[in-house]
C-alpha cells in the first residue's frame, strides 16, 4: 500500500467535495448556521472505529475536537434525523460502488466464476424503545444487516436492513445480475426453489445438504459400491445399503424436490465426524475435496461480521430513534468497506517470489485499529494541498502497513489464504533446506 494509492482511495470515497454534494442532495447541508455538514459526516466515520464511550457521545466529542462551533447536547442529537440517515445511505452506496469496481483476486480453483459471493446476516441489538419498529424473536429490539460479501474483493458489496424477526431466506433474491457468479450460503438459505434459481440465472452454487431432504441418486461418478446400484435410490438407502464406506469421498448425480431438479452431491469424510455432504451445480472439473474447500470459504463472512462488531462498533449503537440507528449502522459498514478495500488493494499487489508470498498480508482488524488511531491525521491530510499532502500520505501508509501485517499468516492461514497460495515456507523448512545444500 503506497501513499499515492491510499490517497486515491480516500479522495475517491471521502473527499470534502463529495461529502458536500451528499449533504446538499440529502438535505443535510446546514440550514442550521452552527452545523458543519462535511465535518459532521466525516466524524460519523471516525467515531465508528474509535471506542471510548457511547456512539453518539463519541461522535459529538470528535466533532467538537475538529474546531467547529459547539452546540448543546440536545441540539446536537437532533441532527440525527432522516436527512443524516439519507446522507449516510448515499455515502454507503458510493463506497460499495467503488468496491464492486475493483479487480478481483481469484486464482486457481477460485477463478471458475466472475466472483464468489457469500450471503449472510448479522444481528444488532437495539434499545427497547425501538421494539415496535425492530421486533426480534425475543423481548428485545434488534435489526438484521443482510450482507453480500465479495470473495474476490474481500469486502461487502451490498447490504440492506430488516427487523431481526424476519427470516434470512426471503432477503436473498437472484436475478440476471448474478449470471456468471458463484454463491456460498448456509442452510438458512437452502431451498429447492433457490437451487432452481441458480440454474436459471447461471449461478454456481455450493450449499450443505439440509436435514430432511430426500435426494434420489441417479448416477454414480465416484464411490465404492458393494452391490448393484439402481437409479432413483433414496440417498439414505444408497449410503446404508449400496455404498461401501471405505473410500474418502462420494460423488453422485441426484435429483431433489418436486419436479426432480438435477444437481450434483458430493460427500467428504471428516475424521471423527463422518461425512459432510454438499449440493452443487459446479461441474466435475472440481473434485469433492475442492468443492468442500470452496464451501469453507464461506467462513470469510463470519470473520467480516466479527470485524463489524469488534472494530466498527456495530454492537454499541445507543440511539433511541430509527433514523439515528440506521445512520450509525451505515457509518459502521462504510468504515468496514474502507478497511477491507485497503487490505485487498495491498494484499493483491504485494510482491511474491516463486508463487509464494514474501511479506505478510495485512490483517483487517489491525488495519481498522490503525485507521482509528490515524483518523484525525487523515482528516487533516485530506484538507492539505496536493504537494504538501503527498509526503503525509506516504507516512500514513507506511505506518498502516508496518503495524497491520498479519502475525499468524505462516502458522494459521485461512482456507482462502491457502487457495490463493499464501502458505509461506516455514522458517524451519528454510533452515533445513539451507543445511542440505551446504
Q: What is the pLDDT of residues 93-128, one digit of tens each?
A: 989 999 999 999 998 899 999 999 999 999 999 999
Lowest-confidence pick of 130-134, 260-264, 369-373 = 369-373
Q: Is a pLDDT exceeding 50 seen at residue 142? A: yes
Q: Range with the lowest mean pLDDT among 51-60, 111-120, 147-156?
A: 51-60
Mean pLDDT of the chain: 86
Predicted pLDDT of residue 35: 76
User: Quick one: pLDDT at residue 377?
Assistant: 84
325 contacts 143 by C-beta, under 8 angstroms: yes
Beta bridge partners of 162: 144
Q: What is the tens place of the pLDDT at every residue in 390-423?
A: 899 899 999 999 999 988 888 888 888 888 887 6
What is the pLDDT at residue 429?
A: 44
Model confidence at 13: pLDDT above 80: no
Q: Residue 50: which pLDDT band, with cuts at 50, 70 and 90?
A: low
pLDDT over 80 (residue 27): no
Asked whether the predicted pLDDT for residue 367 surpasses 60, the reply is yes
CB atoms within 10 A of CB 261: 18
Give me the pLDDT at residue 54, please.
Answer: 59
Average pLDDT over residues 147-167: 96
Sign of CA dihedral 395, 400, 405, 407: positive
- Kindly list the domain boundaries of the chain, sorted by start residue: 3-100+321-404
- The pLDDT value recorded for residue 128 is 92
pLDDT of 231 > 60? The answer is yes
Residue, of 87 and 375, whose pLDDT is higher? 87
pLDDT at position 387: 87
Highest mean pLDDT: which range of 109-113, 138-142, 200-204: 200-204
| Least confident segment among 19-28, 330-339, 346-355 | 346-355
Helix axes 37-46 and 16-25, enclosed angle (nearest 10): 110
Residues present in the chain in total: 438
Lowest mean pLDDT segment, chosen from 47-56, 103-112, 248-257: 47-56
Higher-confidence position of 45 and 235: 235
Q: Using pLDDT thresholds of 50, 70 and 90, give the confidence band for residue 315.
A: confident
430 or 342: which leads in pLDDT: 342
Supply the pLDDT for residue 288.
94
Structure confidence at residue 297 (pLDDT): 96
What pLDDT does residue 434 have?
41
Amino acid at each position: 500500500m503506497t501513499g499515492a494509492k491510499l490517497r486515491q482511495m480516500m479522495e475517491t470515497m471521502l473527499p470534502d467535495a463529495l461529502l458536500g454534494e451528499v449533504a446538499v442532495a440529502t438535505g443535510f447541508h446546514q440550514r442550521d448556521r452552527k452545523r458543519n455538514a462535511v465535518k459532521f459526516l466525516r466524524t460519523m466515520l471516525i467515531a465508528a472505529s474509535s471506542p471510548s464511550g457511547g456512539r453518539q457521545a463519541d461522535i459529538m466529542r470528535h466533532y467538537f475536537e475538529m474546531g467547529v462551533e459547539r452546540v448543546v447536547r440536545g441540539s446536537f442529537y437532533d441532527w440525527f434525523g432522516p436527512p443524516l440517515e439519507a446522507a449516510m445511505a448515499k455515502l454507503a452506496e458510493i463506497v460499495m460502488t467503488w468496491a464492486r469496481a475493483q479487480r478481483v483476486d481469484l486464482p486457481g480453483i477460485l477463478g471458475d466464476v466472475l466472483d464468489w459471493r457469500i450471503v449472510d446476516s448479522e444481528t444488532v441489538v437495539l434499545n427497547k424503545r425501538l421494539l415496535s419498529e425492530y421486533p426480534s424473536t425475543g423481548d428485545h429490539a434488534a435489526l438484521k444487516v443482510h450482507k453480500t460479501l465479495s470473495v474476490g474483493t474481500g469486502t461487502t458489496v451490498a447490504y440492506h436492513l430488516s427487523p431481526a424477526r424476519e427470516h434470512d431466506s426471503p432477503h436473498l433474491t437472484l436475478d440476471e445480475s448474478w449470471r456468471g457468479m458463484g454463491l456460498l450460503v448456509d442452510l438458512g438459505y437452502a431451498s429447492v426453489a433457490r437451487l432452481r434459481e441458480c440454474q436459471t440465472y447461471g449461478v454456481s452454487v455450493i450449499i450443505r445438504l439440509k436435514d430432511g431432504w430426500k435426494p434420489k441418486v441417479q448416477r454414480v461418478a465416484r464411490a465404492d459400491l458393494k452391490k448393484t446400484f439402481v437409479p432413483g435410490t433414496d440417498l439414505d438407502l444408497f449410503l446404508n445399503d449400496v455404498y461401501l464406506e471405505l473410500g474418502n469421498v462420494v460423488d453422485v448425480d441426484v435429483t431433489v424436490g418436486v419436479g426432480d431438479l438435477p444437481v450434483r452431491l458430493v460427500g467428504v469424510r471428516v475424521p471423527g465426524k463422518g461425512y459432510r455432504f454438499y449440493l452443487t451445480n459446479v461441474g466435475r472439473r472440481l473434485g469433492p475435496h475442492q468443492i468442500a474447500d470452496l464451501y469453507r470459504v464461506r467462513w470469510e463472512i463470519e470473520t467480516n461480521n466479527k470485524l463489524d462488531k469488534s472494530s466498527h462498533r456495530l454492537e454499541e449503537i445507543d440511539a433511541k430513534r430509527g433514523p439515528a440507528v440506521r445512520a450509525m449502522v451505515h457509518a459502521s459498514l462504510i468504515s468496514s468497506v474502507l478497511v477491507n478495500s485497503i487490505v485487498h488493494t495491498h494484499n493483491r499487489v504485494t510482491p511474491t517470489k516463486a508463487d509464494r508470498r514474501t511479506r505478510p498480508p495485512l490483517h483487517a482488524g489491525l488495519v481498522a485499529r490503525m485507521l482509528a488511531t490515524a483518523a484525525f491525521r487523515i482528516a487533516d491530510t485530506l484538507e492539505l494541498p496536493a504537494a504538501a499532502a503527498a509526503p503525509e500520505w506516504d507516512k500514513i501508509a507506511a505506518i498502516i502497513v508496518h503495524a497491520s501485517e498479519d502475525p499468524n499468516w505462516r502458522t494459521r492461514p485461512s482456507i482462502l489464504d491457502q487457495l490463493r497460495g499464501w502458505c509461506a515456507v516455514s522458517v524451519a523448512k528454510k533452515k533445513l533446506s539451507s543445511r542440505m545444500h551446504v
